[in-house]
Chains A and B, each alone.
Chain A
C-alpha cells in the first residue's frame, strides 16, 4: 500500500530535550515536506526537500532541522524543543514537487512540549 508513515504518533516531552520525528514514504517520491497544524492557522510549511541532500526552509523553520540522506526518509529534528512547538505535525510527499502534483500526507504526530 502506497503510504507516508510517521513515528511516533504521539509524543509528550519537556523543554530542551532533543527529539526526532521520523517520516518515510514508499512511493519513490522525490519531494517531501513537513507542515505544522495549529488551530485557526491551517497548515504551515516548516521545511521541504526536492531530492536527496537538497533541503530548504519553508515559512516557519525556526527551531527545526531536517535531513534527507535517503530518498524515502525525511526526519524532523527539534534540537531544543520549546512549548511554542506544541503542535500537530504532518509529513507529506509528492512525485517531483511540481505545483500541480498531489501531495500525500502522513497520519500526523501530536507533540506536546511541557
Chain B
C-alpha cells in the first residue's frame, strides 16, 4: 500500500535561512508526489508536483522539491525563508489506478521566526 511519512511535526527556522521539510514515501509503481500548504483558516493550496523527468521540481512562492528515488524522498526546500511561509505543509502521493486518491502525510508545521 502507498504511504507517506513526514518525520518532523514541526520545523523552526529563522527568516532568511534555508528551509527543508522532509518527506519519504513508499509506493508500488511510479510515484506521483505532491506538496500542499495550508495557511490558518484556509484550504490546501497546491505548491508543486513530481510526475516524471527532472528530479528538481520548482513550484509556487519560491519553493522547490527534490525527488530522490534511491532514498524514496521528496523533500521540500526554499533557499530563504519568509515569516509568511509559516504554515502547515503536507506531502502526498497518489494511489495507483484510477481512484485519484491522494495519500497524505501527517503534516509538518513550519515556523519561521523574524
Contacts and interface: CB of A to CB of B under 8 A. Distances in A.
A105 B104 contact: no
A100 to B, nearest CB: 5
Interface in A37-68: 40-45, 48, 50, 56, 58-59
A42 B105 contact: yes
Interface string B88-106: 0010101111111110111
* Size class of the contact patch on chain A: 20 to 34
A105 B38 CA distance: 10
Interface stretch (B14-22, B40-48, B63-71, B78-86): B40-48
Contacts of A92: 44, 102
B102 A100 contact: no
Contacts of A58: 99, 101
Contacts of A48: 99-101
Given A41-B106, A42-B106, A90-B43, A102 B34 contact: yes
B104 A99 contact: no
Interface of B: 4, 32, 34, 36, 42-46, 49, 51, 90, 92, 94-102, 104-107
